[in-house]
Amino acid sequence: MLIPILVWYGIFHYGPMYGVQLAFKEFSPVKGIWGSDWVGLEHFRFLFYQSPDFARIFRNTILISLYNIVFGFPAPVILALMLNELRSKLFKRLAQSITYIPHFFSWVVLSGIIIVMLSPSEGPVNYIIKLFGGESIYFLTDTSYFRPTLVLTSIWKEIGWGTIIYLAALSGIDPTLYEAATIDGANRWKRIWHITIPSILPVVSIMFILSLGGILNAGFDQIFNLYSPAVYEVADVIDTYVYRAGIQQSQFGLTTAVGLFKNVIGITLVLGTNYVMKRMGQEGVL
């Protein structure tokens, strides 16, 4: 049963590592990857010292990813705690199903829904704003609102799916701990604070480490389907830059260098966060 998974990882994860050498070459389709001329660290020098856009793109990537971590990471944990406290099993299943559904739609589909919902002329969100005396807000073309819109729509899409692992961790808590706490006079809030949260902290710490490892993945699918030149200043990230430079302009060596840079930063953050978490007495991934 493991053979198909190993083959898939070998082809799509380890096989492409052969192309990492493009980060140090000037790719020529005629010569191929192996025969292309070496340029050393030229692509990295261009990114860090000569590129007029990379500093802005890197800043946008970090900011959007940090917003997603600060506001998006706690969201499924909070929802899982709320669902865990529900006594009605029917309502609990209904709430879970409703929050899960957006995860199974691609950003192409969801972006169409979001664009219609946030339309300044006909969207229901702006209709409600105008109903209360406000003015229409251009959520997707105003640089002040675009990043918050990204964060909120990302939470809406993934919050239900993210609760699965936390609900699984909550189901493994020994019920006798709650019974003993109830006998000792602990109310619901104290049981959550002293039993529930400490019991799922190891899972939370592992998920936090993994989320930091992907801090330079700001969400290409979502941004690409929602952004426009009007918000490039705050929305253009590393992945969209790689798409334009690599796919549209055929700068394969430069974009490979960007990808290698992302991976080095990601593994460094994973190892660093893993070390800090273990020093704090929490679980790590290594």
> Residue 115 — pLDDT band, cuts 50, 70, 90?
very high
* Separation between Cα atoms, residue 129 and residue 276, nearest integer Å: 45
Q: Whole-prediction pTM value?
A: 0.82
- pLDDT tens-digit map of 28-62: 777 777 878 888 888 888 888 777 788 888 889 88
Query: What CA–CA distance (Å, rounded) separates 225 from 115?
Result: 10
Of 211, 213, 207, 234, the closest CA to residue 223 belongs to 234
Query: What distance lies between CA 49 and its chain's CA centroid?
Result: 28
Q: How confident is the model at residue 157 (pLDDT cuts 50, 70, 90)?
A: very high
**Phi, psi angles (nearest 5°) of residue 25:** -135, 160
Burial 180-200 (b: 16+ CB within 10 A, else e): ebeeeebeeeebbeebbeeeb
Contact 202, 282 (CB under 8 A): yes
User: Residue 26 — left, alpha, or beta (φ > 0 → left; ψ -120 to 50 → alpha)?
Assistant: beta
Q: In the structure, what pLDDT confidence band is assigned to residue 282 with cuts at 50, 70 and 90?
A: low
Whether residue 246 is predicted with pLDDT greater than 80 in this model: the reply is no
- 147: amino acid identity, one letter: R
What digits encode the pLDDT tens for the residues 173-216? Answer: 888 888 888 888 888 888 888 889 888 888 888 888 888 777 77
CA 67 to chain centre: 10
Residue 263 CB contacts under 8 Å (≥ 6 apart), including other chains: none
Q: How many CA atoms lie within 13 A of 25 on its CB side?
A: 16
